[in-house]
């Protein structure tokens, strides 16, 4: 009986050893799967970090482009203001010159009224005698 019992215990022990070995193999597979998942997560995290860094660089670049565009716009505004100022000054000079010519024309006896004084371009003013064909024929 002792032998039978010893045989049964050995068989049970062998079965437990087989179960233990099976559990160890299963655990090794699960550990390998976990390590692969960790590696995948680390790769994903590295890629996400790289994309974040690229996005940050793009944002810095966009800020620099915006600053350059703002500077260029300010320069253009300044140039336009200078041009407008020059145009206004030129218009005032032309107006003053026209007023002066009109005053001289009115002050000279026998000169037609200001409406008949030639324009700044050199073309005859409207209604002036030298501007009509009849007046040219009569001369």
Give tens-digit pLDDT for 17-64: 999 999 999 999 999 999 999 999 999 999 999 999 999 999 999 999
Distance of CA 46 to the CA centre of its chain: 30
Share of the chain above pLDDT 90, in %: 63
Q: Phi and psi of 123, rounded to 5°?
A: -80, 150
Alpha helices in the chain (DSSP H): 2-107, 133-138
* pLDDT class of 104 with cuts at 50, 70, 90: confident
Record the pTM: 0.45
The pLDDT value recorded for residue 136 is 52
Q: Phi and psi of 44, rounded to 5°?
A: -60, -45
Residue 117: CB atoms within 10 Å = 17
Residue 7: CB atoms within 10 Å = 10
């Amino acid at each position: 009986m002792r032998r039978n019992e010893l045989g049964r215990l050995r068989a049970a022990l062998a079965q437990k050893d087989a179960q233990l070995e099976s559990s160890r193999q299963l655990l090794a597979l699960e550990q390998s799967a976990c390590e692969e998942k960790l590696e995948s997560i680390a790769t994903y995290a590295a890629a996400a970090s790289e994309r974040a860094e690229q996005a940050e660089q793009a944002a810095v670049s966009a800020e620099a482009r915006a600053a350059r565009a703002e500077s260029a716009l300010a320069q253009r505004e300044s140039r336009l203001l200078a041009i407008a100022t020059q145009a206004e000054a030129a218009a005032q000079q032309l107006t003053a010159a026209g007023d002066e010519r009109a005053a001289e024309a009115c002050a000279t006896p026998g000169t037609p009224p200001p409406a008949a004084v030639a324009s700044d371009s050199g073309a005859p003013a409207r209604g002036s005698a030298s501007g009509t064909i009849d007046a040219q024929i009569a001369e």
